[in-house]
Amino acid sequence: MPQFWKPGTEKPRLLDDEEGGLLFFSSSHSSSSGFGYSSIERLRQRLPVFKYRTAILYLVETHATTIVVGETGSGKTTQIPQYLKEAGWANGGRVIACTQPRRLAVQAVASRVAEEMGVKLGEEVGYTIRFEDITKNGVTMIKFLTDGVLLREMMDDPLLTKYSKKRRETEGGVRGPRMDPAILSVEGRGFNVHIHYVEEPVSNYVQAAVSTVLSIHNQEPMGDILVFLTGQDDIDAAVQMLNEEVQSRGRNSSEGISFRVAIPVAGPCFGIRKGSDSGFSTRDKSRVKKGLALIPSWF
């Protein structure tokens, strides 16, 4: 994206990028939305979805429905709402909505997008979850919310009049190719992935995940480790095991482990070098005929 030096502002400094290019940097008062490239802006441009920006905007403009298919970490959730806002889809008091299945994901993604745009959370970028509305009428342009909140809004406003949309006039009788949804596949990730499977089934997958984390910590270079577990109970159990290991190492040697527990999020996670996925998920089961809700099961 071309960047220009605005007259009357401090002259930009010319710096060498680590990849060999030259970047214009603004003064310390400029944000990521200014004329200079910040570190966040460079990270945005390295996401796989960035090279599809023009195609996405074209399809949204020319089709009633656009479906974007992309791998985890490609930048779909955090970048596409920003592309739409930059293209003017939030002008005239309209709002760009992005739904997420979980409350924690809504909060985390909204915070990330606000940080990338250099704005305060709750103003141009906000979120709405049950019992919490961090938006401002007439100011918020990008709004993250859960599926349930959007459904409740539809009950009061079935046409979702406050959200930006474009719908062609109905074409009578004949279904033409332009009526079909546009499907765009975003290929690639921002990182290379090598998958290693366990050779045999494990009896306690939480313990196995903790053992894998410790093995990676002992054998691999320094970096962050992301572990996928099925629920809060398993997360608490894993944290307790790691705490016990930290205390044990603190008593027996000078080497220790520092770690942080992160909530589940949707969007790219920068700095992750290794990941451990148990392969399990919890799903609710029910018997419709008897009207019974069963205990969630592992799959």
Provide the token pair at 89.
């889809």
Spatial separation of the C-alpha atoms in residues 168 and 8, rounded to whole Å: 44
Whole-angstrom CA distances from 159 to 126, 148, 154, 162, 240 are 21, 16, 7, 9, 49
Q: How many CA atoms lie within 13 Å of 6's alpha carbon, on the beta-carbon side? A: 11
Tens digits of per-residue pLDDT, 140-164?
A: 999 999 988 888 888 888 888 777 6
Residue 185 in domain: no
Q: Could you tell me if residue 122 is inside a domain?
A: yes
Last residue of a domain, one of 166, 181, 197: 166
Total domains in the fold of the chain: 2
The verdict on residue 155 lying in a domain is yes
**Is 255 contained in some domain?**
yes
Picking from 166, 191, 225, the residue at the C-terminal end of a domain is 166
CA distance 287 to 289: 6
Give me Rg for the CA atoms of the chain. 23
Query: Do 223 and 283 sit in the same domain of this protein?
Result: yes
Give me 243's structure tokens: 């705490």
65 part of a folded domain: no
Which CATH number is 225's domain given?
3.40.50.300
> CA-CA-CA-CA torsion for 237, 239, 245, 251, nearest 10 degrees?
-120
More confident residue, 121 or 19: 121
Identify the domain containing residue 223 by its residue range. 205-298
Question: 217 and 136: one domain?
Answer: no
Residue 98 confidence class, pLDDT cut points 50, 70, 90: very high
Q: Is residue 63 part of a domain?
A: no
> Does the residue 199 lie in any domain?
no
Of residues 213, 209, 219, the one with CA closest to residue 272: 213
| 194 Cβ neighbours under 8 A, 6+ residues apart | none
If pLDDT is split at 50, 70 and 90, which confidence band does 133 have? very high
Is position 116 within any domain?
Answer: yes
**How far is Cα 252 from Cα 68, in angstroms, rounded to an integer?**
52
Give the 3-state secondary structure percentages of the chain, helix then strand then coil, rounded to 5.
Answer: 35, 20, 45
- This prediction's pTM: 0.60
- Which of the listed residues 166, 185, 216 is the one where a domain comes to its end? 166
- Ramachandran category for residue 268: left, alpha or beta (phi over 0 → left; psi -120 to 50 → alpha): beta
How many angstroms separate the CA atoms of 125 and 34, rounded? 17
pLDDT by residue (tens digit) across 234-249? 888 998 998 888 788 7
